[in-house]
Structure 1
Amino acid sequence: MKKLLLFSLLSLTAFAYAQQYCGTDEMHYKMYADRPGIAKKVFQNHLQLEAFTKAYTANNKGKSRAALYTIPVVFHVIHINGDGNISDAQIHDQMRILNEDYQKLNADTANTITAFKGIAADCQIEFKLAQIDPDGNCTKGITRHYDGRTLVGDHSVKEIIHWDPSMYLNVYVCEEAAGLAGHALLPSAADTISEWDGIVIAHSYVGDIGTGDPSRSVVLTHEIGHYLNLQHVWGGNNVPGYPYLPVNDAGNCAYDDGVTDTPNTIGWSSCNLSHQSCGTLDNVQNFMEYAYCPTMFTEGQKLRMHAALNSSIANRNNLWSAANLVATGVNNPVYCAADFSQDKDLICEGITVQYEDASYNDVSEWNWTFEGGTPATSTDENPTVTYSTAGTYYVKLVSGDGNSYDSITKTSVITVLPSPGIANSLIEGFEGNVLPTQLLPLDEGGYADWSITDSAAVNSNYSLRLNNLDAMAGERNQLTSEVLDLTGISDLELSFDYAFAKPTSDAVTDNFRVWVSKDCGENWAIRKQLNGTSLLTKSDSVIAPFVPTASEWKNSTVSNITASYWTDEFRIMFEFNSGGGNDFYLDNINLYDPNMAGVNLLEERDFRLFPNPTQDVLHLINLKQSSPTSYSIYNCLGELLQSGSFSKQTQINTSELPPGTYLIQFNTIDQSVTKKFNKI
């Protein structure tokens, strides 16, 4: 190209692919606001690197290296659980894509148009996940950290963890990337602010599996181009405080990217391969474009990246040094630890679980033990196991490389629920100060959790509280029911009481959702959502932890659980998503057939008891709510063992009853019903 590049002092470059475009102006201004006085040093680094690049290009043009440049990489997954905590497999898929793109092995290189095929380059750069961390410990090159800064994804995520950037390329996978798809430091700025050296990328732009997508999977390829001193193909400018040249601007023809074989262009975010924006055919398929059809780097870009890798600016020349490859373990992986994951941890009887070995590194042998599973043992790398009997089970893995071995046992790693489910309605008032066995809390490691409280309730003593005031925005907390058999019912209704307030007058984004499943939780459908004013039960803000009064509760009814869900594998899930609000309360969950509860005469079906069989506690429910009501427990000889009164629901202590079969009689003023239960 005909002009010398005016290199941008903007330390943060960004790329967005198809769905999301570049928006770096704010980050540009923020960098200089946060770090006043850096402009001079960055510009000095730029001049030094440009001089080195010019000399390197002149001396190496047309030459081919005998070996690849190897760059050790570490992925830091910054998450609040959920989709953002992407799998190892998704990261491995991204590594595959990087190596294909930088070695001209990508299948779509066949689509490169004839005009540019001759200069499409094998950049001779490879990327390997680190095998040794900065402290000399073994690693899989992937770290995971629960932190709310993932919701922003700016430079602050690098304060969480930052491996020596002279040894590793740090990649931060976040929920957001400062509103972009990804952003990276150019070497001249990375040398100035080394604690910011690295790349941040949104999780949905990693790989083409999991939350990734083929059309977005080249974003990291683009960002590493910036990391190795490539500009966008339409160029940039070097005026401090002045934003990057906007893509698709006619004035961009006057600027250059410092690479001789990339034609001047205004830049494109659409894939028209016949564009001639500055008088010659544009290289729209270049990885440093914004169009969504990239296939190539040019030979000139390859030389520019090699120059960056041979320069001391930002220590890029140390990354691939023999000593660093030994220190990071990338060329000689050594087995050091057993680990595994699975695709499900809560299933019904008869469901198959896929286990995946996550041992590291260089693993060649596996010996699995599956309590309660079929098969009970396996030597496969990634076995599938079926569980036929309800219970909670452990899994053990012994893995190794033929010389060294390690083992890991995860207790209670898989919970199997009975199928068909329990022929019972879900009637829960949380009385007894114990979280009921009918509801299973999902703990994702956040700052909030569910607990029974006696500080507030509706017509009773206890309710369920989520300490949402302590939660981080974006946290998800769930309660799932055990499996229920709803076959034979004629109607279905769900009702519950709830209370919620916000801590300040500011708007909050919390929401509460009710989901249902007809296949034991394999698939879920939403049936109720409360947010905004529909979730608030107190209009005034409450700074201290919220404790509702009797008038600060609301009742909600869900009547759209259609007959297609009345199966013998029905489950219900309550989900609260935190968004800056105060504590949340839940009470009196009633899921039942209203026709059964509305008959005039007292019948056996008007009363529920669970669990049956029981051990220490038996819950009693009066669906008809006749009053007064009492109960009496008899043994098989007809001897009265225990009695008491209740109105709507209560629980009784059965811990002192010996194992056996008992009769319980429910009594109103002029009628009685007898049911049987077992004590184990």
Structure 2
Amino acid sequence: MFTKTAAAVALLLPVLLLAQTTEPCGTMPALANQLQNNPAAAEKMHQIEDFTQKWIDKNAGRVKEMGTIITIPVVVHVLYNAGVPETNISEAKILSQIDVLNADFRRLNENADNTPPEFLPVAADAEIEFCLAQRAPDGFPTSGITRTATVKTSFTTSTDDAKFNNTGGHDAWPSDTYLNMWVVPSINGGNVLGYAQFPGQDAATDGVVIAYNCFGTIPPYITPYIYGRTSVHEIGHWLNLRHIWGDGDCSVDDFVNDTPRSDGPNYGCPTTNSCSNESPDYNDMKENYMDYSNDGCMNLFTLGQKQRMWALFEPGGARYAITQSNGCVPVELGASDASLYNIVQPFGAGNCTVLEPVIQMQNFGTQPLYYVQISYSVDGGELYTTEWTGEVPPAGIVTIALPPVVISNGNLLHNLSVTLNNPNGVPDFNNANNSSMVTFTSDLPGAPIPFADSFESSDFPFGIWDFSSADGQFFGLNNAAGHTGTYSAYMNNFGYIAPGQVDDFILPNLDFENFAPMLEFWVAYAQQTPDEDPDVLEVLVSTDCGETYTTVFIKGGAELATTTEPVLGTAFVPNGNQWRRETVNLFGFGELRNVIIAFRQTRGAGNNLYIDDINITGFTVGTDNPLQQPEIQPQISVYPNPASQTAVVAFSGFNLTQPAVLRVTDYTGRVVMQQSTAMSAQNTQQLNLQQLLPGVYFVSVVQQNKTATQKLVVVK
């Protein structure tokens, strides 16, 4: 029986106990691979487990009948090999699988009467149903089925290659709206029937992968996997259920109170009691969908398993968003419906005080679109109106350049609002998709350099700076530590964990005309644990009014840290010895009159980040005074580090007019990779690590008498 006092310790134990043998289900090996590549994912799983157990404690009395049905939209991505025609499975086979899901999760399966008497009191109607999606992510009707021809005959659990267009698969539909199911020719060379991703992991790979010959109930299929229970089993994992034997022996559990312990999976349909130290001492529940029994043997989920699944759907649960999906709602189309598909970009002309908007319009109607009225405004000011004429077929998209607009105020941030009206001269069928607004940065004449800010003025963050943050957590002013003085800019990472969240603070636009500029700043940062998902600090430069940015500095994790000892359990406040000066060569942006510099943090799971004493200086172009042209030491950084498939090398202090060599050596000094690279203002180069074995390597950038080297750890 499961005890919550052991839950936190036991959560990942099954992953560590995995044997290296072939199994019908590849979910746990896939999980082990995910945790190796992203150790911070373990913390997310602990958070979900904690939420689950608290919800179960609070709702123990209402699980038998929840009183409502959760309906999950499903998209089936069929990946077929033209050389094996039967891999392009029929719609009837797909529908047979949906029927199985609805029967098994509602306990309407024909073999429900085969449940042993001792398990009948806990056999559950999960009150979960599934539908093939009727509404695609773009809002148009869909069959809920995509078909992709692939040259591959097998996909792998270690690379998730079925889930990406560029690896022969198909990109996932948004996982907060759909359950993605990939049906493939085979998995791991035919050694695995299916695998799933547990809640809380990467959205781009969220879903289940099933071999075509154990999907649905219509041939072709392989015996004994003929009743579609492989998909039932894998969707159980997707809904946070573990294998009924806990992926261990009698000492390991599946976090469910009403499933008897087992010392391993059951194959076939045996009657056995592999763990006899429980009371009551029942046989193994070989009938449970989360065992490895034959399809015809399986016939139930339990009430305890239902609790775990339903905890996901509550507000705050890991799959709550899918309960709000409209993917199962049919789409009603009208004759004339103009949709504002995208505001491509408001890009600047000259000094960016003139805005030239470009939009994309999609025909959401059933008839061709010939005419639309377009109205737009900047910062809620004067409303401009123009007319478009042409021809767009149903579902077609057209790009439209709108007449220029003068930006009249001196703010750095602006809003552009666009609305479409009167398609084909009649009222729009659906006004909900007619309008959109974007925020953009204008590039007014820049301020001269030198520029300096030590944050001792109390107007930060409301003075000359601008900010960007999707979740409202901005860089702030801190008076607990400063490199000089009392204050610094900082990001409260310790008090707010949101992996992947991007937060920017943006300098006022600057004038580098006649200068070769340099950026200097001081940073302080600590990790919480050595193997955490790293926080990353970047410095970015824009020369087109903030529409695009070039990374000129990037460090993360241990490379960013200014103290060798992680700081866990308390907020990091640096002392005077825990600051480091960073110097960034901006020579490639010299002579430009309107340049925007932004500091960007991408959150991981580390501790607080501090920035102080930002200083932008330069020497006058054309002078040869060495005092005016400081010797810049070449530097490189490699991120992520450790890395698996690819890494980015960022470099500074090199001559941008001369080529360089990017070289990778192993620990013996043997060159394992070498390529010429042109220096540019972008100052980054991507490394493909797929051919390298796990181990320690050294990455060097060499240019005449300048060399910089960084250690790189490759993991697989």
TM-score (norm 2): 0.40
TM-score (norm 1): 0.42
Larger Rg: 1
